A and B are shown apart, each in its own frame.
Chain A
Amino acid sequence: GKRQYNRDFLLGFQFMPACV
Chain B
Amino acid sequence: QEIVSPEDYIKHPLQNRWALWFFKNDKSKTWQANLRLISKFDTVEDFWALYNHIQLSSNLMSGCDYCLFKDGIEPMWEDERNKRGGRWLITLSKQQRRADLDRFWLETLLCLVGEAFDDHSDDVCGAVVNVRAKGDKISIWTTDFENKDAIVHIGQVYKDRLGVPPKVIIGYQSHTDTATKSGSTTKNKFVV
Could you say which residues of chain B place their CB within 8 Å of the CB of A20?
A: 9
- Asked whether, in the complex, the Cβ of B12 is within 8 Å of the Cβ of A5, the reply is yes
- Asked whether, in the complex, the Cβ of B52 is within 8 Å of the Cβ of A14, the reply is yes
| Interface positions of A (Cβ within 8 A of B) | 2-7, 9-11, 13-16, 18-20
- Asked whether, in the complex, the Cβ of A19 is within 8 Å of the Cβ of B45, the reply is yes
- Asked whether, in the complex, the Cβ of A2 is within 8 Å of the Cβ of B115, the reply is yes
- Asked whether, in the complex, the Cβ of A4 is within 8 Å of the Cβ of B116, the reply is yes
Interchain nearest-CB distance for A18 vs B (Å) = 7
Complex CA–CA separation, A9 to B11 (angstroms): 13
Q: For the complex, is B78 an interface residue (Cβ under 8 Å from A)?
A: no
Complex CA–CA separation, A3 to B47 (angstroms): 15
- Enumerate the 9 nearest inter-chain pairs by beta-carbon distance, A residue then B residue, closest first: A5-B114, A3-B15, A4-B115, A2-B115, A7-B110, A14-B48, A13-B44, A2-B15, A10-B110
CB within 8 Å for A7 and B48 given contacts A19-B9, A19-B11, A20-B9: no
Q: For the complex, is B100 an interface residue (Cβ under 8 Å from A)?
A: no
Q: For the complex, is B119 an interface residue (Cβ under 8 Å from A)?
A: yes
Q: For the complex, is B152 an interface residue (Cβ under 8 Å from A)?
A: no
Interchain nearest-CB distance for A13 vs B (Å) = 5
User: With contacts A5-B44, A13-B45 known, what are 11 further pairs, Cβ within 8 A?
Assistant: A2-B118, A4-B115, A5-B12, A5-B14, A5-B115, A7-B107, A10-B44, A10-B114, A14-B51, A14-B52, A15-B52
